[in-house]
């Protein structure tokens, strides 16, 4: 991990010596996007454009109380009958889970499991129609999602189900990868797995033609939520 520490250190140095960063540390020590609504809108627009270019879709920004309805709308459009849901990062996904259950969608709730149950959960994640997860950060310059895996939010949640629905809070949209790495921090990257997701799964191994969803999700819908 020495190389990683060196890279993050150089990124921090470059950000500190260059133009003022669009993020600042609040009283809680966490990096927050500055409050200029225009800047946030530009980041979301850029993210949506880049994500669309690789076959994904951005929805919103929506209000927190509109999140459940937005998730249900996507599941109906995609024909989802079963969905796995992980714990949120800064958003509470319980209301969305309850609304989906009321709508007749079968719920698989991920959580802390022992070694004996881990294989069963992985099998469930491989057979549900969709996965619902929250990304830690969005990267506007490439339309990429940065997702840090935890036991209650396994990486399989965004990698196995054919329909991937990811929520992202607006103030966690970063302009580029360097800003996202600084926000995450070296210590967390060393402890946990970081997955960078740019669009649905695709391959051109067969006849050099792009085929979606062979190695992972066939669709990716990102719902941006206002703080």
- 140 closest CA partner among 93, 103, 96, 176: 176
pLDDT (0 to 100) of residue 204:
47
Structural domain for 100, as ranges: 2-225
Determine contact, residues 11/181, Cβ cutoff 8 Å.
Answer: yes
Determine contact, residues 166/203, Cβ cutoff 8 Å.
Answer: no
pLDDT per residue over 161-187, tens digit each?
A: 999 999 999 999 999 999 999 999 988
- 168 closest CA partner among 192, 139, 198, 194: 139
Confidence grade of residue 155 (pLDDT, cut at 50, 70, 90):
confident
Determine contact, residues 185/130, Cβ cutoff 8 Å.
Answer: no
Determine contact, residues 46/72, Cβ cutoff 8 Å.
Answer: no
Give the mean model confidence (pLDDT) for residues 21-39.
43
Give CA torsion, residues 136, 141, 142, 147, to 10 deg. -10
* Number of domains comprising the chain: 1
- Is the pLDDT assigned to residue 208 strictly greater than 70? no
Taking the whole predicted model, whether its pTM rises above 0.75 is answered as: yes
Give the CATH number for residue 21. 3.40.50.10420
Sign of the torsion formed by the C-alpha atoms of 85, 114, 193 and 150: positive
């Amino acid at each position: 991990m020495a190389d990683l520490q060196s890279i993050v250190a150089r990124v921090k140095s470059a950000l500190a010596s260059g133009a003022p960063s669009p993020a600042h540390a609040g009283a809680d020590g966490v990096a927050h996007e500055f409050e200029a609504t225009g800047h946030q809108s530009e980041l979301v627009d850029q993210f949506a454009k880049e994500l669309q270019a690789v076959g994904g879709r951005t929805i919103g920004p929506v209000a927190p109380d509109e999140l459940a309805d937005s998730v249900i709308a996507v599941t109906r459009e995609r024909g989802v009958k079963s969905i796995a849901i992980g714990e949120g990062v800064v958003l509470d996904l319980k209301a969305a889970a309850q609304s989906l259950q009321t709508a007749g969608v079968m719920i698989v709730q991920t959580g802390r499991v022992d070694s004996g149950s881990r294989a069963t959960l992985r099998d469930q994640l491989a057979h549900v129609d969709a996965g619902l997860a929250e990304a830690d950060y969005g990267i506007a310059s490439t339309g990429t999602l940065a997702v840090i895996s935890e036991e209650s939010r396994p990486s399989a949640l965004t990698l196995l189900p054919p329909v991937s629905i990811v929520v992202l809070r607006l103030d966690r949209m970063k302009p580029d990868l360097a800003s996202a790495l600084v926000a995450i921090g070296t210590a967390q990257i060393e402890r946990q797995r970081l997955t960078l997701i740019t669009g649905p799964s695709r391959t051109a191994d067969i006849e050099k033609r792009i085929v979606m969803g062979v190695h992972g999700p066939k669709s990716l819908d990102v719902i941006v939520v206002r703080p």
